[in-house]
Each structure stands twice: as structure tokens, then as C-alpha cells.
Chain A
């Protein structure tokens, strides 16, 4: 394959043509433009005309007398467009290689009239999602991440964060069909590779059209949005103070007041590294295939564990120095000629070249070594990119960092130590959800584009 993973493709999200797919559109300004902060609701101008609608939805015209579901769909959409916002429910979805991230906006300002008008299956979706914290065997709502009393597109509500394995995608689509989701929307905003991979299945099985969005665009937009609105009154962002000292290393909240430029390191199954200069101006600097998927994959093979949580749990109890060969294992101490500390890892898994050591090693040690190896490597590549791009702020996101303080602290340490304090590692509370948030914002934005 002659591809260009490192291709520094500077691009401008605003110039992109995804909107040509959008079925829901209106003229004039809307609740928010991308430069305005969300939450400041704009008074609807009411200038949307049906002419436009006819033009845009020619395909539906003939169906006005069609099925009840479709009639209902059109009516609701028309109403919503009149108010310059998409009809409920509001979802943003990010279908990654390992995990599907779903954000759901639950309106809490529903008027009695609205409640009455609300169709039954919309109600049931809302109740199902908000009254449970687990869905099926593998779906989880991260309750602790919920953003409460958020104003989006003139509406107030709570933003819920839900994840489930990508493997469960067929069942999710099935559920969409069972709940007759297509009666509510024709368009579901989705990003991540799965938006492309599962597009046909959504269409065929659930009669749903996906609005496919670029994952990096969504990531940046979602990240900047969540950072702006904050985490229920607290900063979304944090860093580690004294990263080089395990005793006094503490997590400190901070804000990304002036976030640009930043090096954004997104650690999902694989890793993408972006240099971000503004909301719409960024480039993908490089990526690596050694990411969260590698950690979990290797852990599964080496220890027989099955979940990320299990792998992390084991790693937290292990000691990687039983697995890795350190500088001092080779040189007896520091390698002074090159300023390498004796405690630095010289060879990841280097001790495992010895049969005796392989026979005596614990699963916990192996899990820890895998975690440390992958984390250090990401840190090392990120640091090099930061130096090459002359960016001092390195923001790490992605679900690999979920409940993973070993890695966050290690990254903070690595950035600080190897750059002699020049670089600072920053982390965000909603680690892996920014893509989904970005997708949701695109849904809300679709109504504002002329």
C-alpha cells in the first residue's frame, strides 16, 4: 500500500462538502454559528419557507399521503425546521474500531404541549436511555460524565455519554429497527470508520440514512465545545503537577483558555496525532498502529484476559521491570556516556528473551509491561511530533486513557522528563467522547447552513 499516513494534509473543515448529503436544511441563521458559543440561544427568525422545504425534499412530496410514519416524520421535521433546530432525538455517534461512543441530548425543558405531542417511541427511547446505566450485556452509560443543564440550540437538557463495543453494532442496528427509529429521523449523524462500514446495514436493516462525518473534524469540534462549556461547573481539562515525582504528583484542573496551537493525540484502537491551529485549521501529523487496541490485543493473548477493565486491573498490580530490560540490567547502572538513567527501559520485553524468565513471569507483570510499552511509545512519538511541529501543548484524548491513571501519569512524566520541562501533557475528562459530541454538533449545525 502506498499511502500517506504522515501526509500533512492541512485542511479546512469549513470547506468540506459533507453537507451535500444533508437532507435537513434551511436558510438563514440558526441557533448558533460555529464561531458563536453554544448555549447562547438565538431567537428563531421564523423565516424558513416551505418553498425551500419543497425544493429540498422533493423525494418526500409524493409520500405526503404515504405511510403514517412518513407523514409523521415530515410533519415533525417541518415543525422543527420552523424553529431552526433538528427534530428530537438528538444523537451523535462515533463508531470506532473497538468502541461505539454515543452521546444523547435529553431535553429537560419540554413543555406540557410538547410532551403531549411527543410521539410514543421518542418518549420510550428517552426513558430507556435515561433510566438505565447499562444496556444489554455490553452497553454502558458513563453517568459520571453526564453534562447537566446544558443549552444546545436553544434547548436545555442533559448530555449523556454511552458506549458499547463495535462488535455489538449489528444488535444496535437491530434495536434501531425494533424501536422504529426511522419514524423519527431519516438522518443519524455518525463519525468514525464505522459510519462508512455500517452505512449500508443502517440503510438496509433500519431504514436509516447516516450522515457520515469526518472523525478528526468531529473530534476537534467536540473537544473545543466540551472545553468551552466545562464539566458541570468544573474545568474539563487537567494536568499533573510534579509529574516526575510519584509521591507528590497530583492531578490539577485547568482550562484550555487559548488552546491553539495544540498537538492533539487521540488514542483509540490506533493513534492519530494532529497539529491543531484553529477549530478549522489542522493537519494530521502522523499516527501509529500501536494504540489501545494493541494494548488490549496483546494483553488478551499474553494473559487470557478479555476486557480492557480486566487488563488494566492486572496491569495495576504488575511490575514491568520483571519483563523489561532496563539500562542498568545491561550496563550495571546509568549509561553515562549518553545520559541514560539506569532505570530507563532499554528493551521492552527484553527479559523475555530468556526462557527461565518467561517461565516465571506473572500475568500482572506482563499486563503492566504491555501498558508501559505502548504508553511510552506513544509518548515518545508525540514528543517528537511536538518538537518537529514546534508545539508545546500536548493534549491526550481517547478511550485508551479511560480509568487508566498509569498511562496518564506516565505520559505526563514522559513529556516533562524528556523535554526537560518544555512540554506539558494535558488530559480531558471526557477522554473518548469528543468525536460523538462533534457529530451531534454537526446535526445541530445542519439546520443553520443555507
Chain B
């Protein structure tokens, strides 16, 4: 059964009207909100709506170079434009505040054509009249289970690191699962007042295959009777302090030890509450609560396993108010599942489990907008992360908002659909990130410190990027506060947004910058860099062409690596660059580590180049300026000359000084005007510029633009080149591809260099051929 109605009458929906809600923190963007949905459970209300967010984006536009006059030195112009994107808002708060929330919404809702509000959850009928009166919207009830499943499918598909395994005693309590694009079939065990076990086979096909009446309501009801404790949370707290063995009859109480013949250990519970039937004594509330918790968790776990076995399913997600982020119940359920399946099935939990109903109800209402046609991404700036609703878990949240505890989830509609790179060897086991900071305390400490240290510089650059906007300083300050708060949250709850990684820290920063309308703080720097580098292009190409074939191959690789030293994202480099703008390409080459490099398979690469050309190379590029123009382009030019087609994949949106697809289009055009090889490549469609779908300085090969994936497949890509620290070391260092791959990066962070056993400016040059795939040039030598 799904969540029941709240029964404690003392928490009725009356509340202090004096609470003022901060409009920029909760119920954001209500001005143009539409498509409301509400899920009212036993104690929590979850509200959902759709809004459009207007924010600034940086656009680049090529000057007309035939009319040279106005252009000056600049290659292209940067303009800030307003763009409208769709966003989903989900807010969770206690039922007690429902009236205040409805009033607030009423006051701020303008220009909406919305006439109905989708509703689900056991409490929906109880508040129907109130909602209709306050909002003037018609309440339209949706089936609870249908909503739940819809919501579950949605988060599993759109939020990487949605599902996790809970391990109480492990270094990291939460182990997030890799995103498997194939989410079906799975079992959802919803533990509300009772238990529903639902088998989900596809987006629209699901079936309630079983259930049990022993659920959260049994724990609560029976617990209240036994301990005279009213609240569910208090019962759980009691349970966490109790000793069940004083109430339960254990195997050893019957056997004196273990029942070795059947392999039942002595500590196993033979009979729940068995001792209270015979022992003539009073039991403590804590012990009884604990015994009850074990009894119910074990029972649910056992049934879940029986159903999973019967239907041959190995993915079992648990949800419902009994679970809802409570470590105590996640632990007992996990224990039970491990016990009954001997580890064959893992109990999985969901980070946004509490939102499933409202997400589903919202989706039902938004069917005409086809939300399932798009990919959505969690907005780290607007989401509060796991567990923040539990007041004892995160007192910070309550203190900060000064109102009442609430929790938010915001999701942005991505402009393009994201899919796997078709060249991943095993998409189901692919993990983009090299280090999981939730599991590595030392690394976590370093990187959190590192990002905090870098914050001043980021703020400074953000302000500098908008010199003609006087309020930029104020916005930048707000950005600083927001991001610092995120870092503090992550320090306390590293798992708040799934696995904590360097990538997620970088992405969170980008989201926060966007939030305060700093869409591209590096735009001007990139522009200047590109201008300078372009002037040097022809000279660079000419000097390369004077080299012997073998010298040239090495110089090309060295060029890519040296170019990669120019990176404003890495602190060590940005310091040098800012103090000495003349820091040159040649200087960078001298900075590079001598061969043999830290990771060095250059010899194998060279051997490979002596063989037949690749059919098509996919090149994930990194920085603007010297990197792309003097490092990557000559390398690409050589590939084209060899007869290899090249797909240049660049970011769709800005991130640090990474070259965006928009910028790359202009740059390539300009280079083509100087270089017949590049020109011919473009003209003959052998050089393609495709956006990656990402706006991150790192790279998640499981979330790439669908168009890119299509091109990769059509062109029969047989070489993937990944460049830069963010894409080839922080992420994808261990990524296994089904074709040849080349990962090139310079380590520009001394801590990371130290970690990898190298030093600052150590080089990673990792050329890999998948095992079992005969190298083509080897094939040429095999006897016929």
C-alpha cells in the first residue's frame, strides 16, 4: 500500500502566518510557473511545477571579415543574450506548512494559464478543498502507484547516480550505482503503511505482483502501542538505541549456540518478541522498538527476495516513507536482503525517492509537453541534495533558511537528448570518474580545499567578465556564498549529489555561475587567447612541415601536450598566465617532462602511425587558444592528410576556458582560410565539428549528444582521442573503449601529480588497443 494519511491530529495545517518565505530560495520562478502537481503523503507534501527560466548566455558571432574596418583585431564578437530554458521544480516540506505554501504560491503566481493541479498521495483528498480554495485550481487525482512508477523511471533515466547501495559500516555509507541506460526490468518495493511490490517492465508496463500488510504502518502503529511514542522519527531513534536480543528469542537461546547443521548462527533471530512471551520482566522502549524494526525489515526483505527470485529480477529498489533516507531502515533492509539472497541481490535506494510521486503526477499532467522526449539534468545549484529534509541530519539547512525545513530538486531541460558513446566497451560498467571522492577521504579533503581556495579567483574573473554591468559584483558575491555553501554541504555530506567527484565539483560551480548570470566568465579571455594563437598558426604549421616524418609525429604530440599546458582552469597555470601573458608556446614545450613520460605509450602510437590510416577519429577537445589552435589543429591536419576523417567534439555550452562548439566553428573557418588542408577537410566533409552535449570541463561518455553518437556510428569511428586533465584524467582515465583510443594530458596540479606518482607537468600519453581486437597493421603482415 502506498503512504497513508497522517493520523496525528496535532499536526493539522494551522501555522504561524508570520513566517515569510524567501522568494529566491523556495518556490523559485513562480512568475511563469505552470503545470502544478502535488503529492501529499503522511507527513510531507511534495509540490512540483514547470517554469521557464530566462538567463543570460554568451554567444559568439563572427565578424564580417570582408569588411575589415570595424573588426579591429578581434576575430569574433561576444554578446550576451537572453535565453529561455525549461526547468522543473520540486519542493518538499512538512504538511504543517501547506497553507502558508499555498498562500505564497497564490501571491506569486502570475500569468499562468494553469487550471488544474494534479494530485496524488494518501493526503490528497484531505487537502483537496484547501488547495482548490487557495489556488483556484481544480484538483485532479492521479493513481498513486502509476505516479510512483513514472517518477521512478524518470529519475533513473535522467539522474546519474540516482540509485545507491547503503553500507553502514563501509568507508562511504553510500555507494552510487553507475548509470545503466537500460533501466528495465526492475522491482520497486514501496514501503508505506503497507508494502507494495511492483514489477516494472517498461515505461508503461508495470504490475503489482505482491505486497504485505506488515509495513511502515505496522512499525508505527505497533511501535506506538508498545512504547507510547507517537512520532515515527522518534520510534526510529528509539530503535537505533535498542538491543533486540533482550526481546527476541535467538537461535542461541534455543540451542545454547549455533544450529550448525543448518548453518544458522546463534545470533540469528529464531522468534521475534519470543522472549517477551516467557520472560517475566519489563522491556525497555528502545529494545522493543529495535526488535520491531528488525522484525518488519526482515519480513519485508524476505518477501522482496521471494518475489525477486520468482520473477528473476536482480534490481530491487526500495522506497516509501519507511525508507525515505533513514539510515536505520536502509541498514536493516540491506542487511535482510543480503541475508536472504546471500548477496546475490543488492538492496538499492534512490536519492530522490521522496519525489517520485510528485514527479510522476507532474509528468501525467505534462504529457502534452512530452517531457519524456527530452533529457533532463539535475541542477546542482537549485537542488538541496540528499537528506537535507531530515532536521536532525542537517541542522544547517533549517538555520539558514530561517523558515522551516524544506528540500528542493530542480531539473533543467537539456537542449539535446543524451545517449551513450556507441564505442564504450561495456556501457553498464562504465564509470566516468577516476576517483570517487566519497570513498577517498584524503582526496576529498584536498579537492574541497582546492575549490574553496580557487573561489576568490573565480569570483574575480566573473566580475571582470562583465565590466559594463555594475551589479555584477553583487551577483558574484551571491555566487560565492552559494558555492561556498555547497562546498560546506559536501564536506558534511559528500554523497549529497551522488558520488562526489572533481567533475561534480566543477559542474556544481558552473551551475552556480549560471544561476547568477555569469554564463561564460572566460569569454573575453578565450577571445584574446584565440586571437593571439591564430596569428601564430601558419608559422607553426610551416615549421612542422619542415620536419622529417618521424620528427613531425613527435612534434605534433608535443604540440598537443604543450598547448594543453595553457589552461586557465588549473590554478598553477592561471597564476603564470596572468602574471606573464607572453608565456609562450615554446616555453610551454620546455616545461614538459622529458620522455619517458609518466604514462608513455608513444612508441606504440608511432608504430601504429606507420600502418594504414584510421577510418575516422573522434577528438574530444579541451581549451581555447593555444591548445586548440596550435596544438590540436596541426594534429588534426596531419590526420586528415593521412586520409583519416576527423570529428571534433567540443562542448555545447561554456565551461572554464574550454572551447565551445560556437567558438570552434568560427576558429575553424578562419583556419580554413589560411590552410588548404583544413579547408579541403571541411569542404569534403571529412572534418566535422559536432557538439558534445556537455557544458562541463569533464566528460561523461554515457551522456553525449545523440547527434554525435549518430555521426560516430555512421563514420565507423575507429580512434577516439581525449585531451586534457578534465576529460582524460579526472574522467575516463580508465574508460575502456571498443576501438583504439589515445588519452593525452599534462598534469597541472601538483597534488594530483603526486597521487599519480609524477610531478607537475608530468605527461600522460596513453594509447590503448582493446584486447582481442587485432591491430589492423598487424593484420597486414599476417600470412594470407
Residues of A bordering B, CB below 8 Å: 1-7, 9, 96-98, 165-167, 192-194, 196-199, 214, 216, 268-270, 284, 286, 288-294, 296-302, 323-325, 327, 330, 337-338, 340, 344-358, 366, 373, 376-377, 380-381, 384-385, 387-388
Known: A3-B263, A97-B271, A289-B248. A301 touches B303 (CB 8 A): no
Interface centre among A290, A323, A344, A353 (most CB of B within 10 A): A353
In the bound complex, CA of A366 to CA of B266 (Å): 31
Contact of B220 among A286, A290, A353 (CB under 8 A): A353
**A5→B340 contact, CB < 8 A:** yes
Contact of B264 among A3, A347, A377, A380 (CB under 8 A): A3
Beta-carbon nearest neighbor of B273 in chain A: A297
**B265→A3 contact, CB < 8 A:** yes
Contact of A351 among B196, B221, B299, B302 (CB under 8 A): B221
Q: List 27 A-B contacts (CB under 8 A).
A: A1-B267, A2-B339, A6-B339, A7-B342, A97-B274, A98-B277, A167-B278, A289-B270, A297-B276, A300-B276, A301-B276, A301-B283, A330-B4, A330-B193, A337-B208, A345-B194, A346-B1, A346-B213, A347-B194, A348-B215, A349-B220, A350-B194, A353-B217, A354-B8, A355-B224, A355-B230, A373-B213
Q: How far is the CB of A275 from chain B (nearest CB, A)?
A: 14
Residues of A with C-beta under 8 A to B220 = 349, 352-353
Residues of B with C-beta under 8 A to A291 = 271-272, 274
Beta-carbon nearest neighbor of B341 in chain A: A6
Known: A97-B249, A197-B256, A269-B254. A376 touches B273 (CB 8 A): no
In the bound complex, CA of A327 to CA of B196 (Å): 12
**A197→B255 contact, CB < 8 A:** yes
Judged by a CB distance under 8 angstroms, whether B778 is at the interface is: no
**B254→A347 contact, CB < 8 A:** no
Judged by a CB distance under 8 angstroms, whether B307 is at the interface is: yes
Q: Give B296-330 interface residues, CB cut-off 8 Å to A.
A: 298-299, 302-303, 305-307, 309-310
In the bound complex, CA of A126 to CA of B196 (Å): 56
Judged by a CB distance under 8 angstroms, whether B259 is at the interface is: yes
**A381→B303 contact, CB < 8 A:** yes
Judged by a CB distance under 8 angstroms, whether B577 is at the interface is: no
Beta-carbon nearest neighbor of B212 in chain A: A380
Q: How far is the CB of A99 from chain B (nearest CB, A)?
A: 10
Residues of B with C-beta under 8 A to A301 = 226, 273, 276, 283, 288
Known: A300-B276, A300-B277, A373-B218. A4 touches B295 (CB 8 A): no
In the bound complex, CA of A376 to CA of B215 (Å): 13
Known: A3-B263, A4-B264, A350-B218. A193 touches B255 (CB 8 A): yes
Known: A290-B295, A294-B273, A352-B225. A347 touches B4 (CB 8 A): yes
Q: A270-B249, A270-B274, A355-B224 are in contact. List 18 more A-B contacts (CB 8 A).
A: A1-B265, A7-B262, A9-B263, A97-B253, A196-B256, A198-B256, A269-B270, A289-B271, A297-B272, A302-B226, A325-B217, A347-B192, A348-B213, A351-B221, A354-B8, A355-B230, A373-B214, A373-B218
Q: How far is the CB of B370 from chain A (nearest CB, A)?
A: 24
Residues of B with C-beta under 8 A to A358 = 221, 224-225
**B222→A349 contact, CB < 8 A:** yes
Beta-carbon nearest neighbor of B256 in chain A: A197
Interface centre among A4, A296, A298, A388 (most CB of B within 10 A): A298
Contact of A347 among B213, B271, B295 (CB under 8 A): B213
Q: How far is the CB of A211 from chain B (nearest CB, A)?
A: 15
**B264→A388 contact, CB < 8 A:** no
Judged by a CB distance under 8 angstroms, whether B7 is at the interface is: yes
Contact of A6 among B217, B230, B342 (CB under 8 A): B342
Residues of B with C-beta under 8 A to A324 = 213
Known: A193-B254, A330-B122, A377-B212. A296 touches B4 (CB 8 A): no
In the bound complex, CA of A298 to CA of B145 (Å): 32
Q: How far is the CB of B2 from chain A (nearest CB, A)?
A: 8
Residues of A with C-beta under 8 A to B298 = 288-289
Beta-carbon nearest neighbor of A370 in chain B: B222
Residues of A with C-beta under 8 A to B307 = 384
**B273→A347 contact, CB < 8 A:** no
Judged by a CB distance under 8 angstroms, whether B64 is at the interface is: no
Residues of B with C-beta under 8 A to A344 = 213
Residues of A with C-beta under 8 A to B146 = 337
Judged by a CB distance under 8 angstroms, whether B251 is at the interface is: yes
Residues of B with C-beta under 8 A to A167 = 278
Residues of A with C-beta under 8 A to B288 = 301
Q: How far is the CB of A133 from chain B (nearest CB, A)?
A: 23
In the bound complex, CA of A9 to CA of B341 (Å): 14
Contact of A346 among B194, B225, B248, B276 (CB under 8 A): B194
Residues of B with C-beta under 8 A to A327 = 1
Q: How far is the CB of B108 from chain A (nearest CB, A)?
A: 34
Q: How far is the CB of A303 from chain B (nearest CB, A)?
A: 10
Residues of A with C-beta under 8 A to B341 = 6
Q: Give B232-274 interface residues, CB cut-off 8 Å to A.
A: 247-249, 251, 253-259, 261-274
**A345→B213 contact, CB < 8 A:** yes
In the bound complex, CA of A336 to CA of B742 (Å): 58
Residues of A with C-beta under 8 A to B143 = 337
Beta-carbon nearest neighbor of A308 in chain B: B277
Contact of A384 among B194, B215, B303 (CB under 8 A): B303
Closest 9 CB pairs of A and B: A352-B221, A193-B254, A293-B271, A297-B273, A293-B274, A347-B217, A197-B256, A349-B221, A354-B7
Judged by a CB distance under 8 angstroms, whether B275 is at the interface is: yes
Known: A352-B224, A353-B217. A269 touches B4 (CB 8 A): no
Known: A97-B271, A98-B278. A302 touches B257 (CB 8 A): no
Judged by a CB distance under 8 angstroms, whether B9 is at the interface is: yes
**A352→B222 contact, CB < 8 A:** yes
Contact of A4 among B218, B256, B277, B342 (CB under 8 A): B342
Q: How far is the CB of A205 from chain B (nearest CB, A)?
A: 15
Residues of B with C-beta under 8 A to A348 = 194, 213-215, 217-218, 221-222
Q: How far is the CB of B265 from chain A (nearest CB, A)?
A: 4
**A353→B254 contact, CB < 8 A:** no
In the bound complex, CA of A198 to CA of B257 (Å): 11
Beta-carbon nearest neighbor of B339 in chain A: A5
**A289→B218 contact, CB < 8 A:** no
Known: A5-B340, A301-B276, A325-B193. A193 touches B217 (CB 8 A): no
